[in-house]
Structure 1
C-alpha cells in the first residue's frame, strides 16, 4: 500500500497533500467516555418487551375493559363540552365567571376596608382613652410631687422661723457684755454627785467674787458621797424657797 507522500508524488496533487497533512496534524485524541479501569458496556440497540403469557380469554376481557374505559372517558369529555357550551349560551361562561370573580374580589376588598375602618376607629378610641389615663396619672404624680415640695418647704420655713426665734437669745457682739453680766449675776450649776442610794448632790453656786484662798482638793477628801451630810436637790429647792420667803 502506498503512503500518503508517495500517493501525492505520483498523482502530482501537492496542494491536496498539504491540506491532508495539515488536517491530520491538527487532529487530537478524543476524550474517553469512561475511565479505563471500567469494563466496556454492552451496546443496546433496541429493547424487547417480554410480556408474560396470558390466556386468550383474559386477553379478550382486558381488551374489552380497555375499550369500555376509553368510551366512558370520551363520553365524559363530550358531556363536559356540552355543559360548557350550555353555560356559555346561558351567560355563565368563562367571561361570566371572570366577572363573578371580579365582583367577589371587589366585595371582599370592600368588606376588608370596612373591617379595617372599624378597627381603626376602635383603635383610635382605645388610644385616646389610654392617653387620657396616662395624662391623668402624670397630673396626679405632678400634684403629689408639688404637695410633697410644699410640705418640705413648709417644714423648712417653720424650722427657719424657730431658728430665728431662738437666735434672739444668741450671744453676738451687740449683747456680749450684757450676757456676761447676766451669767455672772445668775450662775447656774450643772455639776452633781450621786451616792449609792441614788441621791443627787449639787455643787453650791459659785460666788461672784472669790473670797479668801481656795482650798486645793486632795484625792477624795472633798468627795460629797463619803458620808458627809449634804442636801439633796429637793432639800436645796426647799431651802431656796424658804430663804426667798423669809427675804
Structure 2
C-alpha cells in the first residue's frame, strides 16, 4: 500500500510539474506576442485615478418648503378643474349649436360660403386689374407706335433729302455732259486743249498768293535746252506766270 501510494504521489507531482511548465511557457509566449503590439490610446491622463463607471444620472431636486408644495398642488388642482369645466362648457355649446342648426356642419357651410365670397371678390379684383392692364398696354402700344412712326417719318424725310440732292447732282452732271470727252468729240477736245490749255500747276507763298505756271507754247520757239533730266522743273516767282492774290481769291470764293 505504501509503495502504491508513493508511486501515485510521484505520478501526480510529475503531472502537476508538467502542467505548470506548459502554462508558464504559454504565458511567456503570450507576453512575447503582445510586446510588439501598439498600445491603445488612453482616454484619460495616466496620472488620474481610474474613473467610476456611470450608468445613469440621477437628478436630485432641491427640497422645497411644505407650504410652497401645498400652494403649488392647490394651484394644479384648480387649473385642472378649470380646464375640465371649460371643456364641459364647450361641449355643451357645441351640442346646443348643433340642436339649433349651428353646429360643426353649419360652421363648415359658413366657412365654405365665406371662401366662395372671397374667391368671387378676388376674381372681381383680378378682372379690374386685367382691364386696367389692358388699357395701360394699349396706351403703351400707341405711344410706342407713334414713336416708331416718327422715327420712320424722320428717316423718310432724310432719304428724300438725300434723294433730292442726288437728283440735283445727277442733273448737274447731265448738264455738264456736253463738255464730257467721248469717242465722238475726242479729236475736237484735244484741239481745244492745245489751243486753250487749263493750268492746274501753281506755287503758293506765305501770304497765300498763288503763282500759276505760264501757259505752255504750242510750238517750240528758239533753241531747245540741253537739260533733259529736269525738263519740267521750274522756279516760279513774281516775274513768272500769273499771280492770284489771297484776298481776291477769298473774296471770290465768298461771293460764289
Q: What 5-or-longer segments of structure 2 have no aligned partner?
A: 1-52, 228-233, 244-256
**What is the aligned counterpart of 1:179 among 184, 189, 197?**
189
Q: How far did residue 162 of structure 1 move? A: 1.9
Output aligned runs, 1:154-193, within 5 Å: 154-187=164-197
**What is the aligned counterpart of 2:138 among 125, 128, 133?**
128
Output aligned runs, 1:9-158, within 5 Å: 67-158=77-168
Q: Counterpart of 1:172 in 2: which secondary structure?
A: coil
Alignment deviations for residues 9-58 of structure 1 (CA, whole Å, 9 cap, x no partner): xxxxxxxxxxxxxxxxxxxxxxxxxxxxxxxx9x9xxxxxx999888877
Contact (CA 8 Å) 1:189, 1:202: kept in 2 or not? yes
Q: How far did residue 129 of structure 1 move? A: 1.3
**What is the aligned counterpart of 1:206 among 217, 221, 224?**
217
**What is the aligned counterpart of 2:225 among 209, 216, 225?**
216
Equivalent-residue separation in structure 2 for 1:232 and 1:81 (angstroms): 131
Contact (CA 8 Å) 1:88, 1:94: kept in 2 or not? yes
Q: How far did residue 80 of structure 1 move? A: 2.0
Q: How far did residue 67 of structure 1 move? A: 4.6
Q: How far did residue 70 of structure 1 move? A: 3.9
Q: Tell me the TM-score normalized by structure 1.
A: 0.54
Q: Tell me the TM-score normalized by structure 2.
A: 0.53
Q: How far did residue 109 of structure 1 move? A: 0.6
Equivalent-residue separation in structure 2 for 1:72 and 1:194 (angstroms): 121
Query: In angstroms, what is the RMSD of aligned CA positions?
Result: 4.5
Higher relative contact order (CA 8 A, sep 6+): 2
Q: Counterpart of 2:120 in 1: which secondary structure?
A: helix
Equivalent-residue separation in structure 2 for 1:58 and 1:191 (angstroms): 128
Contact (CA 8 Å) 1:193, 1:200: kept in 2 or not? yes
Contact (CA 8 Å) 2:214, 2:242: kept in 1 or not? no
